[in-house]
Amino acid sequence: MAKIDFGGVLEDVVTREEFTLEKAREVLKNETIAVIGYGVQGPAQALNMKDNGIKNVIIGQAPEFKADWDRAAKDGFVPGKTLFPVEEAAAKGTIIMYLVSDAAQRILWPKIKPHLKKGDALYFSHGFSITYKEHTNVVPPADVDVILVAPKGSGTSVRRNFLAGAGINSSYAVFQDATGRAEERTLAIGIAVGSGYLFPTTFEKEVYSDLTGERGVLMGALEGIIEAQYQVLRENGHSPSEAFNETVEELTQSLIRLVDEKGMDFMYVNCSATAQRGALDWKGPFREATLPVFKELYRKVSSGEECVRVLESTSATNYREVLETELKEMRESELWKTGAAVRKLRPNK
């Protein structure tokens, strides 16, 4: 491991230079890696491993979910050879990558657990099912490794970054080391799926930070403040195009790229003095206004309340219909209809 200074705090990280792809291939050469679920993370991690020369990668996917089954076949996984129904793949695997949704993990667990053999590894990319085991009933047998690699991005980003020659940073954790090789297996998979670098965590910390981030800055808070600013501008007579460009387009097409390049201070340096002064003056009030919300959010995540909410809502028979209604409302709002029009007006690259 390398010691890296993160803002004055030294942390251990694992880089591709320390744990090479060649080493990952060696560690995994006798493993059969069964990727259970070909929905969000499954395709990206499976294809990245294949492209990285990991030989024995198979898919477990319910054939009745025809779109995902056909997608796996289109991506080169062969029915009866490298593409199987879920239970058959789990029985064949020595590392079972449990990459179905959190709600589906609870439902499928009684079918997966009987196929876990002594010395197998049960792999997650989210700490949800293990951390909230009193709600999910996912309790692995004591004679298997229980490991985690959690890419800090969507499956789409994991694949895109890999194809671009970059990588998505990932956290990793070992919950249960039955073989004495759990950490080695974890790091090998982490490198094989294309991680930029790996940093240690626990299953509990991973799910607490992940659920807070998704509900907060990454998605929930982002959409909330975008809606609020757009509304204020429109109420004060600004056109939809002007309100959208000042709220979303400049953020996504200009400023966030500067933050990505060299940090927030670099973005401030590359903006006008008027923008700098105003941003520095107003970041405090926004922080103080949102801090109580974030504290309440973290409390609900750590107490399990958010877990119960997720499981109850996603298990409802009409969940897909409710979800589509909520997304349609967002999609058909003036804000995001304006966004669709603005994207069409971008110059062709």
Encode pLDDT of 300-315 as tens digits.
999 999 999 999 999 8
Fold (topology level) of 2-201: Rossmann fold (3.40.50)
Over residues 315-338, mean pLDDT: 95
Give this prediction's pTM: 0.91
Please give the pLDDT value at position 2: 80
Please give the pLDDT value at position 40: 86
Superfamily (CATH H level) for 213-345: N-(1-d-carboxylethyl)-l-norvaline Dehydrogenase; domain 2 (1.10.1040.10)
Over residues 310-331, mean pLDDT: 94
| pLDDT confidence bin for 205, thresholds 50/70/90 | very high
Please give the pLDDT value at position 10: 86
Please give the pLDDT value at position 215: 97
| pLDDT confidence bin for 210, thresholds 50/70/90 | very high
Do 31 and 58 touch, CB atoms closer than 8 A? no
| pLDDT confidence bin for 11, thresholds 50/70/90 | confident
**Which residues are bridge partners to 15 per DSSP?**
197
Sheet containing 195-200: give its strands across. 2-6, 9-15, 195-200, 168-176, 145-151, 121-124, 95-98, 33-36, 57-60, 83-84
Cα-flanking dihedrals φ and ψ of residue 123, to 5°?
-110, 140
Domain residue limits, the chain: 2-201, 213-345
Over residues 319-345, mean pLDDT: 96
Q: Residue type for 211, please?
A: L
DSSP 115-154: GPPTT-EEEESSSHHHHTHHHH-----TTSEEEEEEESS-
Whether residue 1 has pLDDT greater than 80:
no
| pLDDT confidence bin for 349, thresholds 50/70/90 | low
Over residues 230-237, mean pLDDT: 98
State the number of CA atoms in the 13 A half-sphere of 245 facing the CB.
9
Per residue in 269-286, pLDDT (tens digit) is: 999 999 999 999 999 999
Per residue in 92-140, pLDDT (tens digit) is: 999 999 999 999 999 999 999 999 999 999 999 999 999 999 999 999 9
Over residues 17-44, mean pLDDT: 95
Sign of CA dihedral 53, 20, 127, 164: negative
Please give the pLDDT value at position 3: 84
Per the model's pLDDT, the better-predicted residue between 42 and 153 turns out to be 42
Over residues 15-31, mean pLDDT: 95
Catalytic residues, by residue number, are 126
65 vs 244: CA distance, rounded Å: 38
Please give the pLDDT value at position 280: 96
Over residues 147-152, mean pLDDT: 96
* Mean confidence (pLDDT) of the chain: 95
Same fold, 2-201 and 213-345: no
148 vs 90: CA distance, rounded Å: 17
Over residues 243-247, mean pLDDT: 97
Please give the pLDDT value at position 196: 86
